[in-house]
Amino acid sequence: MTHRMRATHDAILVGIGTVLCDNPQLSARLLPAGETPCHPQPVVLDPMLRTPMDARLLAGPKDNADLKMPWIVAGPNADSGKRRLLEELGATVIVVNDVDDEGRPRLGKVVGELERRGAKRLMVEGGAQVIRAFLRSERMVHRLVITIAPVYIGAAEGVPAVDTVLPHIRPLAYEQFGCDVVMVADLQKQ
Ligand X SMILES: Nc1nc(O)c(N)c(N[C@@H]2O[C@H](COP(=O)(O)O)[C@@H](O)[C@H]2O)n1
Residues that bind ligand X (CB under 6 A): 2, 18, 22, 24-27, 125-126, 147
Grouping H, G, I as helix, E, B as strand and the rest as coil, residue 181 is strand
Cα of 3 vs its chain's centroid, Å? 13
CA-to-CA dists, residue 106 to 98, 132, 143, angstroms: 6, 13, 20
Region of 178 (left: φ > 0; alpha: ψ -120 to 50; beta: rest) is left
**Nearest to residue 57, comparing CAs of 46, 47, 71?**
71
Q: Which of 21, 145, 146, 166 binds ligand NAI (CB under 6 A)?
A: 21
Q: Which of 39, 51, 125, 135 binds ligand NAI (CB under 6 A)?
A: 125
What is the rounded CA–CA span in Å between residue 47 and residue 89? 18
The listed partner (ligand NAI, ligand X, none) that binds 129, CB under 5 to 8 Å by sort, is ligand NAI
Q: Is 136 exposed, middle or buried (0-12, 13-18, 19+ CB in 10 A)?
A: middle
The listed partner (ligand NAI, ligand X, none) that binds 49, CB under 5 to 8 Å by sort, is none
The listed partner (ligand NAI, ligand X, none) that binds 104, CB under 5 to 8 Å by sort, is ligand NAI
104 interacts with ligand NAI by CB under 6 A: yes
108 interacts with ligand NAI by CB under 6 A: no
The listed partner (ligand X, ligand NAI, none) that binds 26, CB under 5 to 8 Å by sort, is ligand X
Q: Which of 83, 92, 129, 183 binds ligand NAI (CB under 6 A)?
A: 129
60 interacts with ligand NAI by CB under 6 A: no
What's the maximum distance between 2 C-alpha atoms anywhere in the chain?
A: 48
The listed partner (ligand NAI, ligand X, none) that binds 16, CB under 5 to 8 Å by sort, is ligand NAI
Q: Is 138 exposed, middle or buried (0-12, 13-18, 19+ CB in 10 A)?
A: exposed
**Contacting residues toward ligand NAI, per CB under 6 A:** 14-18, 21-22, 45, 47, 104-105, 107, 125-130, 133
